């Protein structure tokens, strides 16, 4: 596919690199010549220096024959203008990043009236992911598939857990649970395990389960699963606002610390049921006075990665609570992973993931049947949901007889509203929704899981 990306900030750069890796023809537009030159020299992308919202620059970038234009500049209005011009100049699909909370209730209207393929708000999407893990605090990460009937949950094996030292093949008989171990992270190593693999303390484990079976698994493993009842948030930006707005109606008590007085006053008006504290969230005494030890969860959502990391490490010392840490830069993700920060949220990755998911779905006309995509294990693997719409090489054959490529695991089958955790004799059928875990990139069709 021919794709134009306007705006080479954090998200634009990530999109250009990832979409290029998948074999797409990428052209980037930015008015900063040094940025365009840098990405053009390092990756297989074409660069145009100029204003992406002008007809002449878009035509130079090839909008007349492009399949998709993605506008992710720092200005919402500029992004929308880029998409409008692209629709007129090239009649291609368009995606706009729109971040202003004032537009958050109007995204559907904007998308419909301007004919956009997608409007994405990174802060709103990040808040939705945080809210999901707060409802299931045992998990570091939660991804839903098959219209939320199936879930992939990532968690850390705690000390003295029933899972410590257990062989995966023993799980059904020892714990009487219906889950599938999809992946294990042990140190820097990522493993798609077989039945002989033995789980150990501090392993980061990803499981597939029906939504109803996940709670049963965690309960029998001796891991707390109850939704948190309270949260202390440091940082009063857009993510914090959206998150509080989601949590308050479901009965979660919210206290928010923000250093900017005018922002505090605005948040008081927008979130009358939350407790807003004016002060420096990095002040240890202020956090203690705010009662950090009494809260069941803590979210560090300031604009400084270093501050967020230190705040979460301090919160860990104040009691056993669910931690959420926002990180904007990922240059030191190996170090961050070793800090025991619990759930780490990367807003730019979430945005890129949603857009890449849409790009893959666009390939339906070329045979793709990808319905949902989630980057997991810090981007080292993908969880893809395929909807099988027609017979193929992969259908009606027992899984144990299929020649499945190394590094791929069929994790779940959803059929007629029922979630099946596949065994050797199970088969894939037309109409099934199938979750596949893979360390290989660029799968577009269910047949791609098989050797040629």
The structural domains of the chain, ordered by start, are 2-120 (3.40.50.720), 127-220 (3.30.70.1450), 230-345 (3.40.50.720), 363-449 (3.30.70.1450)
User: What is the spatial distance between Cα 309 and Cα 338, in angstroms, rounded to a whole number?
Assistant: 12
The H helix count followed by the E strand count for the chain is 14, 22
Q: Where does residue 286 rank: exposed (0-12), middle (13-18), buried (19+ CB within 10 A)?
A: middle
pTM given for the model: 0.78
∠ Cα 182 188 189 (to 5°): 45
User: In the 8-state DSSP scheme, what is residue 54?
Assistant: S
**How many residues are listed for the chain in this entry?**
452
- Check if the beta carbon of residue 291 is closer than 8 Å to that of residue 269: no
Given this model, what pLDDT does residue 365 score? 45
Handedness of CA 377, 316, 304, 259 (dihedral sign): positive
Q: Hey, is 414 helix, strand or coil? A: strand
Tell me the CA distances in angstroms from 50 to 31, 36, 55, one per residue in order.
Answer: 4, 10, 11
Tens-digit pLDDT profile for the chain (452 aa)?
Answer: 899 999 999 889 989 998 898 888 999 999 999 999 999 888 989 999 999 999 999 999 999 999 999 999 999 999 999 999 999 888 899 999 998 888 888 888 988 888 898 999 989 999 998 998 898 887 888 887 766 778 888 888 888 888 988 999 888 888 888 888 988 988 878 888 888 899 998 898 999 888 778 888 888 888 766 789 999 999 999 999 999 999 999 999 999 999 999 999 999 999 999 999 999 999 999 999 999 999 999 999 999 999 999 999 999 999 889 999 999 876 666 677 777 788 899 888 888 888 887 887 776 544 456 777 777 776 778 888 888 888 988 999 999 999 988 888 898 998 988 888 888 899 999 999 898 988 887 777 888 898 87
∠ Cα 179 182 187 (to 5°): 125
């Amino acid at each position: 596919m021919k794709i134009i990306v306007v705006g080479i900030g954090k998200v634009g750069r990530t999109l250009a690199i990832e979409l290029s890796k998948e074999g797409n023809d990428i052209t980037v537009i930015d008015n900063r010549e040094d940025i365009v030159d840098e990405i053009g020299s390092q990756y297989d992308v074409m660069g145009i220096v100029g204003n992406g919202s002008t007809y002449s620059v878009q035509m130079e970038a090839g909008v007349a024959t492009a399949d998709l234009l993605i506008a992710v500049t720092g200005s919402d209005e500029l992004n929308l203008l880029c998409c409008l011009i692209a629709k007129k100049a090239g009649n291609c699909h368009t995606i706009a990043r729109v971040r202003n909370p004032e537009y958050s209730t109007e995204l559907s209207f904007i998308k419909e009236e301007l004919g956009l393929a997608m409007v994405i708000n990174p802060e709103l999407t990040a808040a939705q992911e945080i809210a999901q893990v707060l409802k299931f605090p045992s998990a570091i990460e939660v991804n839903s598939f098959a219209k939320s009937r199936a879930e992939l949950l990532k968690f850390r094996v705690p000390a003295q857990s029933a899972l410590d030292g257990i062989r995966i093949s023993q799980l059904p008989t020892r714990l009487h649970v219906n889950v599938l171990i999809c992946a294990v992270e042990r140190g820097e190593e990522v493993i798609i395990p077989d039945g002989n693999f033995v789980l150990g303390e501090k392993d980061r484990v990803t499981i597939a389960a029906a939504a109803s079976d996940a709670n049963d698994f965690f309960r029998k493993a001796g891991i707390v699963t109850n939704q948190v009842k309270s949260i202390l948030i440091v940082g009063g930006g857009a993510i914090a606002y959206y998150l509080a707005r989601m949590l308050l109606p479901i009965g979660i008590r919210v206290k928010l610390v923000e250093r900017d007085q005018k922002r505090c006053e605005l948040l008081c008006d927008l979130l009358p049921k939350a407790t807003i504290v004016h002060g420096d969230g990095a002040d240890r005494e202020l956090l203690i006075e705010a009662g950090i030890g009494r809260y069941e969860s803590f979210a560090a959502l300031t604009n400084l990665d270093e501050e967020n990391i230190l705040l979460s490490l301090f919160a860990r010392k104040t009691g056993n609570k669910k931690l959420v840490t926002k990180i904007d830069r990922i240059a030191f993700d190996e170090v961050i992973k070793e800090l025991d920060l619990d759930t780490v949220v990367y807003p730019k990755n979430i945005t890129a993931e949603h857009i890449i998911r849409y790009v893959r779905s666009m390939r339906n006309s070329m045979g793709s049947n990808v319905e949902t995509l989630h980057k997991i294990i810090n981007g080292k693997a993908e969880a893809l949901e395929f909807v099988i719409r027609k017979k193929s090489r992969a259908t009606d054959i027992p899984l144990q007889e299929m020649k499945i490529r190394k590094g791929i695991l069929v994790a779940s089958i959803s059929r007629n509203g029922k979630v099946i955790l596949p065994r050797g004799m199970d088969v894939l059928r037309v109409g099934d929704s199938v979750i596949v875990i893979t360390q290989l990139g660029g799968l577009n069709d269910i047949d791609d899981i098989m050797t040629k």
